[in-house]
Amino acid sequence: MDSEKQVLLDYFGIVQYHDYQLGLIRHISTSKNDIICQFRTGSGKSLTYLMPAILHGYTILVISPLCSLITDQVTHINKQCTQ
């Protein structure tokens, strides 16, 4: 776990996971199966797939619904502008 904490700090500049991130990272690190994960925008998805790749040299394929991300961001900006 010490190497996990060091990578977390060195690569991401944070010192602690969210509980859901740690569980998923451990599952990815120990599973031989494909994994699907769906988190809301800004919830730390990148960390969950990058961490095992960094720690274990895994190849990661990420399919991101960019249109959905753009829509979420525009909605958020519009809400802030109307307040």
Please write the tens of the pLDDT for every residue from 28-64.
Answer: 888 888 888 888 777 888 888 888 888 888 787 777 7
**Torsion sign, CA atoms 65, 69, 74, 79:** positive
Number of domains in the chain: 1
Helices 45-56 & 19-30, crossing angle to 10 degrees?
40
Q: What is the pTM of this model?
A: 0.62
pLDDT at 1 over 60: no
Domain that holds residue 45: 2-82
The better pLDDT of the pair 83, 77 is held by 77
Q: Is 19 helix (H, G, I), strand (E, B) or coil?
A: helix
φ/ψ bin of 16: left (φ > 0), alpha (ψ from -120 to 50), beta (otherwise):
beta
| Distance separating alpha carbons of residues 17 and 4, to the nearest angstrom | 10
